[in-house]
Structure 1
Amino acid sequence: MMERLSFLNLLACCGILLTRASVESFTINNYQADHNSLRFFVIGDWGGLPQFPYRTFIETAVAGRLAKFADSLQIHFLLALGDNFYYDGVKNLHDPRFKETYEDVFTDPGLNLPWYLIAGNHDHNGNVSAQIAYTDKVKRWNFPDFYYNLTFAIPGSDARVDVVMLDTVQLCGNVDDFVDVRQPAGPPHVGSAEKQWAWLEKQLASSRAEYLLVAGHYPVYSIAKHGPTDCLVKRLQPMLYKYKVNAYLCGHDHNIQHLEYSQRNWTVNYFISGSANFV
């Protein structure tokens, strides 16, 4: 197995900097982008409202700050980790929510960079296949399947980053945020869930990247409303340590968290970035 490198610095709670070697902590206002790092945003739970104005003040403000930092830090891409459209996803490929909540909000040219998306529990209330199909309609929208793998080169080095994008709703089941049910009850289709678990382990076992990240919508660990996701603690968490994953990225809880947990002589960083629409 590839010997992983320790890597993490957090940018303004919603961005990550990856470099070939460990770097010192920094203040974002004083940070100067260089050409030897891979820089990206992580946002979750950003999906506006189902009624006029189809966005929240917070979503609009986050879009403005992302635009500012995308320009000054020369961000390479963005991971959007579910709940892309509140409260019931989209109906079809021609749903006006694509324009009202996405295209009309993230308008700055600095955000015309690749977006890589997965679905959250609210997206699964609607038509996730339509969100996947939107990939062929808008260049920056990249949602090739319910789950998929990404590989990036770190500029100025031979190092690589693998990012494994999961559909945690398919793995664990859906939840209703409007009732007091905080744990998904189980996958809607056990066969599909097991197929994804097998695919995930194969991706982790075969990765030769210096940095290995996994991203989903539900948290493994959280100290907020939803708490840890039992399904992921049981099935995903052991894989993170077995295959020396550097970090797990997610949303679902509407706040920002950075938790560290060590096991088997390895530390996994757990990042929650779920405050792009509600706080």
Structure 2
Amino acid sequence: MAAGLNNEYMALCLVLMISSFGLCLVSTRAELRRFEQPAKTDGTLSFLVLGDWGRKGAFNQSEVALQMGRIGEKLDIDFVVSTGDNFYDDGLTGEQDKAFEESFTQIYTAKSLQKQWYSVLGNHDYRGNAEAQLSLHLRKIDSRWLCLRSFIVDAELAEIFFVDTTPFVQSYFTDAEGHTYDWRGIGSPRAYIANLIKDLKLALSESSAKWKIVVGHHSIRSIGHHGDTKELVSKLLPILKANKVDFYMNGHDHCLEHIGDAESPIQFLTSGAGSKAWRGDIKKQKTGGLKFFYDGQGFMSVQLTQDAAEIAFYDVSGNVLHRWTTTKLLYSSI
């Protein structure tokens, strides 16, 4: 009897903790935490994607934020996705670090951007106090903020699977180039990655969403400065192909980029141009399926219906650089 009461008490505490997030956490057989994000009443979904941004407004971050607000209002966005490297150069020093407000709260002030932000950690975030970005304290400062290592957003029309890609990269452990990474919560990287892959496989295989989207910080396919991430090509890409994922979205390379895959319907979309760009700093090798590349600052929008997806890239002035639409019927038949 006492054990039953203890279990009920623990369950109640969990409900209260979830309620403080202002979001609904739904049970799932996979270990990945799941959050519900309602679509619009007409069943459509729209959101912005931004990466590599937190520089206290510098390097055109404020200008990009201004245009995000304008486009966000025009599209009536439901939320914002951050692909990581949220705070430069070395993440946050702790929960009280003023850089959180100086690079986030005080920059993304437009009314249309006062929606939920779903964020993953990038390699620069791991160079600081990574645990700070995951803490409930930041949500008390700004309720829009939700950053976890790996999790799922169930947006009815789409399921978005956020993956912690930094621990996949072996060089961060073997040759940190003078940087110190905060690996608390990771333990054995091999076991961490194995468990994450197992959970992701299960979640993807059980998904019945019309659109499947995976978000990580590091690129799988890119002609940008960093190029392909070999560990993701070998460990993550086969899972995406096997489960008919529609889009893989990432940051890391400070550019806007769209690459198709010759062997599957997956589209690789890089949106890592939230502030400082690397003009002209690209890989010289050819990458099959390249549809668009821009090495200036900007961001991406995604609009989904039952039958179609429209992707658009915008520059720092809000100009449309590349717009691409695909139908779900065509996409599924590739």
Please indicate, yes or no, whether the TM-score normalized by the shorter chain is above 0.5. Answer: yes
8 Å Cα contact 1:124-1:174 kept in structure 2: no
Residue type of the alignment partner of 1:146: R
8 Å Cα contact 1:170-1:188 kept in structure 2: no
Residue 138 of structure 1, aligned match among 142, 148, 151? 142
State the alpha-carbon separation in 1 of the partners of residues 158 and 97 from structure 2: 34
Shift of 1:39: 0.6
TM-score (norm 2): 0.64
Render the CA deviation track for 1:94-114: whole Å, top value 9, x for unaligned. Answer: 111011111111112221011
Asked which structure has the greater CA Rg, the reply is 2
Q: Structure 1 residue 225 and structure 2 residue 232: aligned?
A: no
State the alpha-carbon separation in 2 of the partners of residues 175 and 275 from structure 1: 22
State the alpha-carbon separation in 2 of the partners of residues 96 and 270 from structure 1: 34
8 Å Cα contact 1:171-1:197 kept in structure 2: no
Render the CA deviation track for 1:25-46: whole Å, top value 9, x for unaligned. Answer: xxxxxxxx99452110011101
1:82-97 equivalence runs, <5 A: 82-97=84-99
Shift of 1:161: 0.5
Render the CA deviation track for 1:125-179: whole Å, top value 9, x for unaligned. Answer: 0112111112354211112x311011102xxxxxx21100011012334659x96
8 Å Cα contact 1:85-1:97 kept in structure 2: yes
State the alpha-carbon separation in 2 of the partners of residues 175 and 101 from structure 1: 25
8 Å Cα contact 2:105-2:142 kept in structure 1: no
Secondary structure of the structure 1 residue equivalent to 2:168:
helix
1:33-44 equivalence runs, <5 A: 35-44=42-51
TM-score (norm 1): 0.76
Q: How many residues align?
A: 227
> Structure 2: which 5+ residue stretches go unaligned?
1-38, 178-186, 278-334
Residue type of the alignment partner of 1:247: F
State the alpha-carbon separation in 2 of the partners of residues 194 and 216 from structure 1: 16
Secondary structure of the structure 2 residue equivalent to 1:122:
helix
Secondary structure of the structure 2 residue equivalent to 1:192:
helix
Q: Structure 1 residue 211 and structure 2 residue 208: aligned?
A: no
Larger CA deviation: 199-208 vs 61-70: 199-208
State the alpha-carbon separation in 2 of the partners of residues 273 and 102 from structure 1: 17
The ranges of structure 1 where at least 4 consecutive aligned residues each deviate by more than 3 angstroms after the TM superposition are 33-36, 173-176
Alignment match, 2:270: 272
> What is the aligned-residue RMSD (CA, Å)?
2.4
State the alpha-carbon separation in 2 of the partners of residues 206 and 68 from structure 1: 37
Aligned sequence identity (%): 29
